[in-house]
Amino acid sequence: MADDDKDSKTEAPTDKKKRDAADKGNVPSSREVSVFASSLAFYVYIVFFLPSGLVRMGQTLKDLFEHPEQWRIASSIDLISLSMHLGSEMALLLLPAGLMFIGFGISASVFQNMPSFVLERIRPQFSRISPVSGWNRIYGVPGMVEVAKSAFKIIVVAIIMYLVLRTDYFRSLDAMFSDPETIFARIASIIRKAMVVILFATGLLAAVDIFWTRHRWFTDLKMTKQEVKDEMKQAQGDPIVKSRQRSLARDRARRRMIDNVPRATLVITNPTHFAVALRYVRDEDDAPIVVAKGQDLIALKIREIAKENEIPIFEDPPLARSMFAQVSVDSVIPPVFYKAVAELIHRVYAARPQNRRV
């Protein structure tokens, strides 16, 4: 059943599905990017900060061994003083490393996704302690990929480091018997070479893992056709309900339009298929306004109300059809209809003292 459900998820995740996943803390995040950032931070540290720090630490140890009388331990106060001196020197040596790791770690996280506080990630979940879920995580595809990445880092890095550093083996042993100030310098040189190899391997692995992580995240969020339809219904509303709402809105607009017919000055008909009711008052309007229009049954209703209110009705099929198609309700008629409508209005005003029906 799980395989069938996975096979049915053929549709790309919608923006809403991605946002919901991000709100729950489900975002594509590669661990290898953080490893590469930490390696890069350490490399920057040993290139720009470690040499001067090692020289200072070497000088401190040299003074300690060559002039031990300066640091006699005759009491607990002397021991504390010596510990604080060595501790301060060690702190000055390691403080830049700590700051570099924190800065590069935050940058790696921001590079992949903007940080956000998600309570869902810390909510207790049974799946995290379930043996079945743990088995699937270890021996599933993601677990196998993690094993492959770990094997790559161990095997490839070990081989490359052996090829690069095998010539420095004996020099490393000789450095143990040299001047204390040069011991750390030689060690730093060897560490720099090793870090170049580690940076190359972790950088390559991070680049591949970014694409793999995003592909797996995208695949896990895929949706079935039914899920896409359900989401569209939630976002836009049920089509049946919306159709009913549009129908009710049209009915209300139609009733308002019919209620405006008694205010019309004249009605132009087809004679039976179309009807357009116009209102024109010299002191109120600059041009005639369409207060109602309709086709078939609505046209008959407009004619019926016009007769009940003794509103003049003119049969002009071309004019009625054109105005019905081009002019919306509550709109002023276009100038193209001025001449034809003006003649009808003139006839209305001319006949008004005698008879309102034409």
The model's pTM: 0.50
Q: Which two tokens stand for residue 40?
A: 């890069």
Q: Give the bridge partners for 292, in sequence order.
A: 277
Q: Which of 38-47, 139-148, 150-159 has the weakest average pLDDT?
A: 139-148
Q: Which of 74-78, 205-209, 223-227, 330-334 shows the lowest per-residue confidence on average (mean pLDDT)?
A: 74-78
How far is it, in rounded angstroms, from Cα 139 to Cα 148? 12
User: Strand order in 313-315's β-sheet?
Assistant: 289-295, 274-279, 266-269, 313-315
Between CA 12 and CA 253 the distance in angstroms is: 41
User: How many CB atoms sit inside 10 A of residue 158's CB?
Assistant: 12
User: Rounded distance, CA 200 to CA 343, Å?
Assistant: 89
Max alpha carbon distance in the chain (Å)? 135
If we measure between CA atoms, which residue out of 44, 28, 29, 40 comes closest to residue 202? 40
Q: How many whole angstroms from its chain centre is CA 256? A: 45
- pLDDT digit string, tens, across residues 184-238: 666 667 777 778 878 888 888 888 888 888 888 888 888 888 887 777 777 665 6
Instruction: Note the residue count of the chain.
Output: 358
Give which of 353, 357, 274, 355 is closest to 316, Cα–Cα.
Answer: 274
**Model pLDDT for residues 242-300, shown as the tens digit of each residue:** 677 777 777 787 788 888 888 888 888 887 788 888 888 877 777 888 888 888 888 88
Say how far apart CA 306 and CA 279 lie, in whole Å: 12
Mean pLDDT of 163-185: 63
Q: For helices 141-165 and 131-139, what crossing angle results, to 10°?
A: 50
Residue 5 has a pLDDT of 56
Please name each of the domains of the chain with its CATH number. Answer: 27-220 (no CATH), 259-351 (3.40.1690.10)
DSSP state of 116: -
